[in-house]
Structure 1
Amino acid sequence: MAKLKLATIADDKPVKITVELPAPLHSDLVRYAEILGRETGQSSVDPARLIAPMLARFIATDRGFAKAKKEKL
């Protein structure tokens, strides 16, 4: 069993944006969604719904951003 950084995807009210992804990144996102679905027992996970939690996790673990945010740059 893979140890993924994301768990189940929360169902909250989204804000719609449009994002263009390079084809290899999109392929990885689709594959990640497939693996996450198997790991969490969800029948299917929409790859687009992974983008927000991935960005949130990235921002939450970016020490440089946290420091700059505290400094209110």
Structure 2
Amino acid sequence: MAKLKLGAITEDKPVKLTVELPAALHRDLVAYADILGRETGKPIGEPAKLIAPMIERFMATDRAFAKARRVRPHEAGRPETRRQLPAGNPESVPPAT
């Protein structure tokens, strides 16, 4: 059996986007959904559900994107929301501003 890059699809609160795909890419997406459904034992009812996990996987493995996000988080598409904690005693953390 093939070892696909995607695993089982998890449900999450969606944000609706509209995209146009070339017909050949759509056919490949349908074929991927079929193979993934057979591999995981969970049929993929709508191949479009694969698009978000595929993009997520792509971005998670893009080293240049990860580096740019660490260096300049405000330029990577999303502002950095995590506070940097000082080293040492966690009780000495200043209150959030």
If the TM-score is normalised by the length of the shorter chain, which range does it land in? over 0.9
Q: What's 2:46 paired with?
A: 46
Structure with the higher fraction of residues in helix conformation:
1
Instruction: Report runs of 4+ in structure 1 exceeding 3 Å deviation.
Output: none
TM-score w.r.t. structure 1 length?
Answer: 0.94
Structure 2 spans left out of the alignment, 5+ residues: 76-97
Provide the rounded CA distance (Å) in 1 between the counterparts of 2:67 and 2:48. Answer: 29
Deviations 1:17-60 (A, max 9, x none): 00100111111000000000000111334210000000000000
In percent, how many aligned pairs have the same letter?
Answer: 67
Instruction: Say what the alpha-carbon RMSD is for the aligned residues.
Output: 1.0
TM-score w.r.t. structure 2 length?
Answer: 0.72
